A and B are shown apart, each in its own frame.
Chain A
């Protein structure tokens, strides 16, 4: 974290320029067009990218909801969000329904239930600073936080969950790693 400026360290930690423009790359991801598939290839599943910008909610709080629905089928995700008490749950539910609608209309998805959530992310939106008045004439500066929410739906059933690594497996891997060590810079 103690990064130096470019004049001090020539190799790494170089301060490059940052732009003042916001990037809106997630919306562009829907526009990529693949070349037509050859007859023998397996069918490429449809991918739908959708996002909502500048939601009046905290990105950290929204992240818990995004983590909840990662990897679920869209029906299960909508069910979980419907009965969640959080403010962001309502917003994410709207986004998912919009994305489902887009998938069926524009992206040639046959069954609206045959989608699963491949990625769901949150990002920081623009923050505004305001004054919060305390007693005795003191004040604090508070941030009005906003966040973005991104989701990628992919056609097909959700992938099966990975089996958890047992302790024995981990121990075996460790021993394997120790055994595969070699001598470096020698004959």
Chain B
């Protein structure tokens, strides 16, 4: 990425002004053009009359301001050779590590990570849940109509038993999937 510095009069102008002031023996001042809060330097007349080297020493007693940090920015001294670059990019720290926690899902036979649910089985359950939710939505017919009783999902050819008395029934027009256990 190459940043083109063509239209930046502000920084250049600031630098030119600061250099001009340094040559004249005055302190460079801050970014906003405010007067520097130098109590001791202003009280003693010597730094103002002395030539440039003294103003250089007077400057160093001050805490580094914004301009100092600009002039003292870290920059690379030499171009990093391709050999050095390769050593950094290819050392084992940066290579991708081989995963040893991949297993086979006992249900569907796809691959899964040991601590994560099988993606295929999860997608299967998700699809069925979505259809059940669509049925619920059709039955409720709008928001905020959820009943205060339990919901029971029945597939083809199933009847509610005695203990499923007060539950709301959701019908699904297909065979019960093997993984959906009936209570």
Contacts and interface: CB of A to CB of B under 8 A. Distances in A.
Interface residues of A, number: 20
Given A79-B111, A83-B102, A83-B113, A64 B3 contact: no
Interface of A: 60, 64-65, 67-68, 79-80, 82-84, 86, 132, 134, 136-142
Contacts of A83: 99, 102, 111, 113
Main secondary structure of the interface of B (DSSP, over half): loop
Interface stretch (B4-12, B121-129, B130-138, B157-165): B4-12
Contacts, number: 43
Interface string B1-38: 11111111000000000000000000000000000000
A80 B100 CA distance: 9
Nearest to B101: A83
Contact of B8 (A86, A136, A139): A136
A77 B80 CA distance: 34
Contact of A134 (B3, B89, B95, B111): B3
Interface of B: 1-8, 89, 94-96, 98-99, 102, 111, 113
Contacts of B3: 134, 138, 140
A80 B99 contact: yes
B7 A140 contact: no
A43 B57 CA distance: 83
A165 B3 CA distance: 47
B72 to A, nearest CB: 23
B102 A137 contact: no
Nearest to A139: B4
A137 B2 contact: no
B113 A64 contact: no
A140 B111 contact: no
A182 B3 CA distance: 57
A132 B1 CA distance: 9
B11 to A, nearest CB: 10
> Which 5 residue pairs of A and B lie closest in terms of their CB atoms, listed nearest first?
A68-B96, A140-B1, A79-B102, A137-B7, A64-B96
21 contacts: A64-B96, A67-B95, A67-B96, A68-B96, A68-B98, A79-B102, A79-B111, A80-B98, A80-B102, A82-B111, A83-B111, A86-B96, A136-B7, A136-B8, A137-B7, A138-B3, A138-B7, A140-B1, A140-B2, A140-B3, A141-B1
A83 B115 CA distance: 12
Contacts of B96: 64-65, 67-68, 84, 86
Given A68-B96, A86-B96, 20 more contacts: A60-B89, A64-B94, A64-B95, A64-B96, A65-B96, A67-B95, A79-B99, A79-B111, A80-B99, A82-B102, A83-B99, A83-B113, A84-B96, A132-B1, A136-B7, A137-B7, A138-B3, A138-B6, A140-B2, A142-B1
Contact of A138 (B4, B95, B102, B111): B4
Contacts of B113: 83
